[in-house]
Amino acid sequence: MGRIRTPVGTREPERSNMQSVFDSRDPRYKDPFGALPTGKSADLTLRPPRSMGFSGGAAVARSEFSGGVMEYPLVWTGMEGTCDVFSGKLPAGKTPDLIWYCFRFFRSDGSIRYFGAGGWRKKAPEEFQLTVYEETGTSPDWFGQGVTYQIFPDRFFAALPVVTSGFVGKRRLHGGWEEEPDYLPDENGEIRNDDFFGGNLRGILRKLDYLKTLSVETIYLNPVFEAASNHRYDTADYTRIDPMLGTEEDFRILCREAGQRGMRVILDGVFSHTGSRSVYFNAGGGYPSLGASDSMDSPYYGWYRFESWPEKYSSWWGIKTLPQVNEMAPSYLDYILTGNNSILRRWLRAGAAGWRLDVADELPDAFLELLRKAAKEEKPDAVILGEVWEDASNKVSYGLRRRYLLGKELDGVTDYPFRDALLLFLGGGRAEEFRERMETLREHYPPSAFYSAMNFLGNHDTPRVLTLLGAGEDLSGAPRSQRAEFRLSEAERLRGGRMLKLAALLMYAFPGSPTIYYGDEAGLEGFEDPFNRRPFPWGKEEKELQSWFGKLGRLRTLRPSLRRGDLEYRAARGPLLAISRRLGGEETVAAVNVGAEPAVLALPWAKETAEDALSGEALPVRDGKVSVLLSPWGGICLTE
């Protein structure tokens, strides 16, 4: 696992006024950087001005989960210029935790001042965060190194024949692959998501060689189990591949054939709720067995929370077709996780390499711990990823601070903060802000979690990135008919494509797995669901964009520095952002200029040669430096 380095003296302007006292990201003040394993300590050094007259100090540490508050002495060790130097240690403790810390200084007259993340205060200030995690050694290092490709199965490719019967729910099969997904409410005012295009597992199998041209190493499938809707987040039967997608044998073949091409397949685990039209709930009586809505004697009755059986029950976000489950019900735990033939184990045995967990915020910490334990017992290198939209190290969900990244639950998360920061930068933000947001994450996350992030530009829950970048706005509030008909103009498409190429360059250069949402590389457009779930445009791909993603994928595959190297910011000022990845003697630098004016970037360069790996252009190296001229909305990938 790579170490991440940030050059001294490149912090944000708002931090600079505090740096001379303490900078939690600088090893001269706190060493080691970032999160700490249990049982370790951080060395602290503070440099308050001599004029403040302090005679002593202490680090004040508050433990989130144990609830204790401890003070650790800071000892005067001398002077540096006009500053006193106080040093001490901050122990991580023996159990995983979040430690919130600040500093208390006192004078000989008894007066005190506090120093925290917001600077000097007379009372307790804003605290710094220290994540204390358990080093279990069970997070696989394969995920995060290579490219991930996300597939919404119904819309990727339909290999003939398409199954048209034998499944739950009424379905409408589109007559043409290029038709618009249904987006208007039915006669009852509901959007049922019951229109299908017929994409299937055999279709994905047929396109494995295409995925290989993109250097894909992980295929992430949106739900594949039997369900009534086209998105299949309303699971009807966890034991059965949806018949329109294929069979369990088709899934096994897909995993095997993918493996022969160096790819792994991970599944979408939807365990916080089921579908109402499921074998477990059985609203409408679609299954011959007794579901929870049929009888209180149903073996599944205890899975659900009924306020008044059978009509009133807890459902996900109030959507009655998605009844929530009691995840900690013993029979549910046995069925999904802990039993010898549990759903989790069954599909890992069938060939899955791991699970991406839908709405991880809805799943109790105890459930996630049992899930991880069962997965690692079954397949030690299985990866467990969680859908989390915020900083996962300190997320509060339903009033509880979550423990996702403390070593017993998730290996990594969906990196929405990365997407948000990158799109903000491309939309006119400053490189300093992008770096600040990402530095906050890497300071908070254990290294294995930071390197196991699922980095993406868009997915099935967000508008298509090309549309956002090209249009320059999100029309989510516009009438659905307007959003359905919207297409980028030629000028907007050119603009969006140029920006998307730079976004992809940065994503592929960043730690974590660069994740392509199917069709983004081919130029698919669309705002939010269902317009972001249009069928893949086979035969009408944006070839230049597709080639760009293919080239980035090959670089990610061939260069170890991009797969697991250290991270360093070479430049972050205004519209100019340059990041370096280094491993051993190999260095790769990705630099972009999102401004309207050319920008010159001069970098120290230890090698005798330099080349832009994207264009093949050789760049002169003189006196140990390489000078790069970046055109407006231009980018390079600098290699030796």
Which tens digits make up the pLDDT trace of 156-167? 999 999 999 999
Q: Say how many C-beta atoms besides its own lie within 10 A of residue 185's C-beta.
A: 11
In this prediction, residue 174 carries a pLDDT of 97
Residues 49-52: contacts with CB under 8 Å, at least 24 apart? 49/20, 49/21, 49/82, 49/83, 49/84, 50/79, 50/82, 50/83, 50/84, 51/82, 52/105, 52/113
- Residue 14's pLDDT band (cuts 50, 70, 90): very low
Structural domain of 94: 13-133
Residue 188 sits in the same domain as residue 297: no
In this prediction, residue 188 carries a pLDDT of 79
Q: Residues of the chain with pLDDT > 70: what percent?
A: 97
pLDDT in tens, 261-291: 999 999 999 999 999 999 999 999 999 999 9
The answer to which of 166-175, 476-485, 516-525 has the lowest mean pLDDT is: 476-485
Q: Residues of the chain with pLDDT > 90: what percent?
A: 93
Q: Does the pLDDT value for residue 5 go beyond 50?
A: no
The answer to which of 17-31, 89-103, 292-306, 513-527 has the lowest mean pLDDT is: 17-31
pLDDT in tens, 127-161: 999 999 999 999 999 999 999 999 999 999 999 99
- Residue 415's pLDDT band (cuts 50, 70, 90): very high
Residue 499 phi, psi (nearest 5):
-70, -40
Residue 256 sits in the same domain as residue 194: yes
Of 140, 139, 148, which Cα lies nearest the Cα of 217? 148
Q: Taking residues 105-125, report their average pLDDT.
A: 95
Instruction: Estimate to the nearest angstrom the gap between the alpha carbon of 627 and the chain centroid.
Output: 34
Q: Does the pLDDT value for residue 16 go beyond 70?
A: no
pLDDT in tens, 180-225: 999 998 887 788 899 999 999 999 999 999 999 999 999 999 999 9
223 preceded by a cis bond (ω within 30 of 0): no
In this prediction, residue 478 carries a pLDDT of 86
The amino acid present at 95, given as its one-letter code, is: T
pLDDT in tens, 571-600: 999 999 999 999 999 999 999 999 999 999
Residue 282 sits in the same domain as residue 261: no
Residue 70 sits in the same domain as residue 32: yes
Residue 75 belongs to a domain with what CATH number?
A: 2.60.40.10
Q: Taking residues 69-74, report their average pLDDT.
A: 97
Residue 160 sits in the same domain as residue 251: yes
Q: What is the DSSP letter of 198?
A: -
Pairing verdict, β 69-80 and 56-63: antiparallel
Q: Does the pLDDT value for residue 445 go beyond 90?
A: yes
Q: Which of 230, 252, 269 is a domain's end point?
A: 269
In this prediction, residue 19 carries a pLDDT of 56
Annotated catalytic residue within 358, 432, 525, 587: 358
616 in any annotated domain: yes
Residue 337 phi, psi (nearest 5):
-120, -60
Q: Which of 103, 133, 163 is a domain's end point?
A: 133
Q: Taking residues 462-487, report their average pLDDT.
A: 91
Q: Where are the alpha helices (DSSP H) in 379-426?
A: 416-426
- Residue 3's pLDDT band (cuts 50, 70, 90): very low
As a whole number, the mean pLDDT across the chain is 95
Q: Which of 203, 236, 269 is a domain's end point?
A: 269
Q: Does the pLDDT value for residue 4 go beyond 80?
A: no
In this prediction, residue 18 carries a pLDDT of 55
Active site annotation includes 358: yes
244 in any annotated domain: yes
Q: Which residues contact 307 (CB under 8 A, 6 or more apart)?
A: 313, 314
458 in any annotated domain: no
Residue 574 sits in the same domain as residue 632: yes
In this prediction, residue 357 carries a pLDDT of 98
Residue 176 sits in the same domain as residue 256: yes
Residue 591 sits in the same domain as residue 571: yes
Active site annotation includes 415: no
Task: Compute the distance between CA of residue 177 and CA of residue 157 in angstroms, rounded to an integer.
Answer: 9
User: pTM value?
Assistant: 0.95
Annotated catalytic residue within 268, 387, 439, 520: 387
